[in-house]
Amino acid sequence: MIHSGRLQNKVALITGGGRGIGRGIALRFASEGAAVIITQRDQHSADATVSEILAAGGTALALGDSDVSNPAQVAQVVATALAHYGPLDILINNAGIAGSNGHFLQLSHATWQHIINVNLTGMFVCGQAVAQHMAEHEIKGRIVNIGSINSLAAEPEAAAYVTSKHGIVGLTRAMATDLAAYGILVNCLAPGPITVERNASLFTAQQAAIRSAVPLGRPGTIDEVAAAALFLASDESGYITGSVLTIDGGMLSRVP
Ligand code: NDP
């Protein structure tokens, strides 16, 4: 697998890297030669993804019990990554929670706060900790914030999620602006419907609706998102910062 990839000698932190899109990015980055650190709250699936990478000859470390919205835990992750592999070159700010938030008129304050805290504040906490670390070590790094097509358009009964994802676009542009002087590039990847373990049976049930809503006629794959993340994390994206790249099969390009 390894040893001549596009991320050779790079160290990448991937939040929520034990399953779903994050797992796919972790596997791809490791196959491109990066040393990968995976964080999330669940240790078990983080360990399983790391075992898979190690079995393929890659380099990876799992740090469970790490909540992206907890600054102390995130600081510990950055320190542990540094001790194992040296300074971080790449952050994939991927961890997030989805789900229906209910109708706006019934949206509870607690649900609102929880979703904003994980999806938006978590990206700020991880982004700031890693950017400070990159600046301190003079790393001209890459940060990719995983937004959504809901970073650019709403959908029914998802006010907290939609707001958190719109906030990620603002955060990306603000980070890109402040971090440009340090050579740290920050971009947002905005996926449409992407089949992961969590939504696979739902997407099968909604096949006809997805076919008609998406010009390409199908959901995206984890590997397709990982390929776009790889480009934004690689040296090949040297003049791109503050951008939002949709990866949605054309969904946002067409009025229904
Ligand atoms: P999954 O539910 O499969 O994975 C989410 C990951 O985030 C898990 O590893 C989870 O681990 C981790 N996570 C959740 N909350 C926290 C937290 N507080 N601290 C640390 N880690 C956390 O989701 P997807 O792979 O589908 O989604 C990944 C990203 O892509 C999200 O930001 C999502 O909004 C975005 N996205 C996904 C789309 C899709 O269709 N799949 C479409 C558009 C955007 P654990 O629970 O153990 O902490």
Is the CB of residue 68 below 6 angstroms from any atom belonging to ligand 1? yes
Is the CB of residue 148 below 6 angstroms from any atom belonging to ligand 1? yes
Please state the length of the chain: 256
Determine the distance separating the centroid of ligand 1 and the alpha carbon of 223, expressed in angstroms: 15
| Per-residue confidence (pLDDT) for residue 179, from 0 to 100 | 99
From 25, 36, 40, give the residue whose CB has the most ligand 1 atoms within 8 Å, as the site to mutate.
Answer: 40
Q: Alpha-carbon distance 15 to 8, whole Å?
A: 20
185-191 and 35-39 beta bridge pairing: unpaired
- Whether 171 contacts 145, CB under 8 Å: yes
Is the CB of residue 97 below 6 angstroms from any atom belonging to ligand 1? yes
Q: Which atom of ligand 1 is closest in space to residue 19's alpha carbon? A: 9
What percentage of residues in the chain have a pLDDT greater than 70? 98
161 is catalytic: yes
Q: Alpha-carbon distance 81 to 34, whole Å?
A: 13
Distances (CA, A) of 160 to 38, 64, 112, 199: 26, 26, 5, 19
Q: Alpha-carbon distance 14 to 142, whole Å?
A: 12
What is the residue type of 60?
A: A
Distances (CA, A) of 86 to 12, 28, 35, 139: 11, 20, 10, 11
pLDDT at 236 over 80: yes
Structure tokens at 106: 């019934």
Estimate the crossing angle of helix 122-136 against helix 159-179, to 10 degrees: 10
Determine the distance separating the centroid of ligand 1 and the alpha carbon of 122, expressed in angstroms: 12
| Per-residue confidence (pLDDT) for residue 99, from 0 to 100 | 66
Hey, how many other C-beta atoms are within 10 angstroms of the C-beta on 175? Answer: 25
What is the residue type of 165?
A: K
Determine the distance separating the centroid of ligand 1 and the alpha carbon of 138, expressed in angstroms: 30
Is the CB of residue 101 below 6 angstroms from any atom belonging to ligand 1? no
Is the CB of residue 168 below 6 angstroms from any atom belonging to ligand 1? no
Is the CB of residue 247 below 6 angstroms from any atom belonging to ligand 1? no
Q: Alpha-carbon distance 226 to 156, whole Å?
A: 28
User: pLDDT digits over 56-105, tens only?
Assistant: 999 999 999 999 999 999 999 999 999 999 999 999 999 999 867 899 99
User: pLDDT digits over 120-142, tens only?
Assistant: 999 999 999 999 999 999 999 99
From 27, 39, 41, 144, give the residue whose CB has the most ligand 1 atoms within 8 Å, as the site to mutate.
Answer: 41
User: pLDDT digits over 155-200, tens only?
Assistant: 999 999 999 999 999 999 999 999 999 999 999 999 999 999 999 9
Higher pLDDT, 1 or 42: 42
- Whether 196 contacts 21, CB under 8 Å: yes
Q: What is the pTM of this model?
A: 0.98
H or E element in which residue 190 lies: strand 185-191
Torsions phi, psi of 93, nearest 5?
A: -85, 85
Determine the distance separating the centroid of ligand 1 and the alpha carbon of 198, expressed in angstroms: 9
- Whether 145 contacts 188, CB under 8 Å: yes
Q: Alpha-carbon distance 191 to 21, whole Å?
A: 10
